[in-house]
Copies of this chain bind each other. A is one copy, B any other.
Amino acid sequence: MMKIIDGGVTAPKGFMAAGTQAAIKYENRPDMAMVYSQKPCIVAGTFTSNVVKAAPVLWDMKIVKENGTARAAVVNTGIANAGTGKEGMDICRTEAEEAAKVLGVLREEVLVGSTGVIGEQLDALKLKAGIKALASKLSDSRQAANEASVAIMTTDTVNKEAAVTFEIGGRTVTVGGMSKGSGMIHPNMCTMLGYITTDIDIDRALLQKALSEDVKDTFNMITVDGDTSTNDTLLLFANGLAGNEKITSENEDYKKFCEALHYVNETLAKKMAGDGEGATKLVEVCVRGATSKESAKILARSVAGSNLTKAAMYGNDSNFGRILCALGYSGVSFDPDRVDISYEAEGKTINIFSGGIKSDYDEEEATKLLDHKEVRIIADMHEGSAEATAWGCDLTYDYVKINADYRS
């Protein structure tokens, strides 16, 4: 059975991490992190679908696709290294070279990640100093993982970690992870940097498959503001130190691993949605009874992404018309007269729309129910048996505030 544990990227055997202050853009706050594996890893990754890809995304994509092996990841916040032309790519190379030198690995085994303002150039000297400091602080402790997860935060208000263990043939396998992301979050990968580590021994193609499949139901189902970043990166490192019989087919062990990975991904994804810029609550949208999984996803994301629904959630306003409206413009066809819409929070459910008209419910009760940190909107289409869940947050004054003067 899968066991949820307190931990992050250092939970699996052989992984070390660190966070440090490198004054990349701001003074006096952690802004660089490192993840390092004592043994060579295979690595899987998924990246932004944005046509404009940040330099570190291009760097990582090449390594994941061409080599598929890695030893370390270096991350900075403050500056995204996107819209930075050739100089931006040179910085990635310099960064990887420096990390390779101090860690005694190959340049092509170092992945780099950046998040922050687009269009500004990174300072190579600051990066180098940061990398040296990180290498000297590397540790496999719980605290080191925590410090790394704090160092990759930008407008995040909480750091995001998760870890689980499970057994394969008597051997304990661990999956741990950290991520950041608050603004620029939208279904097709977000900024959104995520680093998952595991000590499982698995075939590289299967590792990538497990990640690519699971992302569709987790990270790609969250939305904060509809803006898909240039920097979204999710990396999954596996170093094989658990000593399990190597997974080379989609057997029972593979399924166990997928389940563990799903838990870590979903946990991190929900933490990001609930920590959306300025958000006061996590809004989970469950669509049921759809004709296909794909339709269910589109419908769920449309509601989770609707500015009007999100503003209503902020005001605890049971404005189901906006939910109905968002289902309607999603692009999926359905019969409005068959849709059931309900709210759910802390185990209590209120049906608000049924049979094409407003249900007979108490407005005050609905307002009270919406006034929770986690609220679920359930739309049952009554047309099939497919379902999907999307996660978002409310739209608040603070979202505007954060983004009207983010750079200053």
A52 within 8 A of B: yes
**Cβ-defined contact, A315 with B404, below 8 A:** yes
A184 contacts the other chain (Cβ, under 8 Å)? yes
Of A1-9, A163-171, A350-358, the segment with at least 4 beta carbons within 8 Å of chain B is: A350-358
Check if A319 sits within 8 Å of B407, measured CB to CB. yes
* Contacts A83-B324, A324-B83, A336-B52 given; does A403 touch B312 at CB 8 Å: yes
Q: Is the CB of A317 within 8 A of B225?
A: no
Number of A residues near B (Cβ < 8 Å) is 69
Distance in angstroms from A306 CB to nearest chain B CB is 6
B residues less than 8 Å from A336 (CB atoms): 51-52, 83
With A52-B336, A308-B184, A396-B400 as known contacts, state yes or no: A83 contacts B326, CB within 8 Å.
no
Q: Assess the A329–B51 pair: CB atoms within 8 A.
A: yes
Which A residues between 79 and 108 are near B, CB-CB below 8 angstroms?
Answer: 80, 82-87
Which residues of chain A (37-53) have a CB below 8 Å from chain B? Answer: 49-53
Please name the residue on chain B nearest to A186 by beta carbon. B329
Q: How many monomers of this chain does the complex have?
A: 2
Given contacts A82-B321, A85-B356, A306-B226, contact A328 B50 (CB under 8 A): yes
Interface positions, chain A 306-355, Cβ under 8 Å from B, are: 306-308, 311-312, 314-315, 317, 319-322, 324-330, 332-334, 336-337, 353, 355
A63 within 8 A of B: no
Stretch at the interface among A14-22, A115-123, A245-253, A383-391: A115-123
Q: Which of B84, B225, B337, B407 has a CB less than 8 Å from the CB of A307? A: B225
20 A-B contacts, Cβ less than 8 Å apart? A83-B358, A84-B356, A85-B355, A85-B357, A118-B319, A118-B320, A118-B324, A188-B329, A226-B305, A226-B306, A227-B306, A227-B326, A228-B328, A228-B329, A307-B403, A312-B403, A312-B404, A315-B405, A317-B404, A317-B407
| Given A82-B321, A227-B307, 18 more pairs with CB closer than 8 A | A50-B328, A51-B327, A52-B327, A53-B328, A83-B320, A83-B336, A118-B321, A118-B324, A119-B324, A119-B357, A225-B307, A227-B306, A227-B326, A228-B329, A307-B307, A312-B406, A314-B404, A315-B405
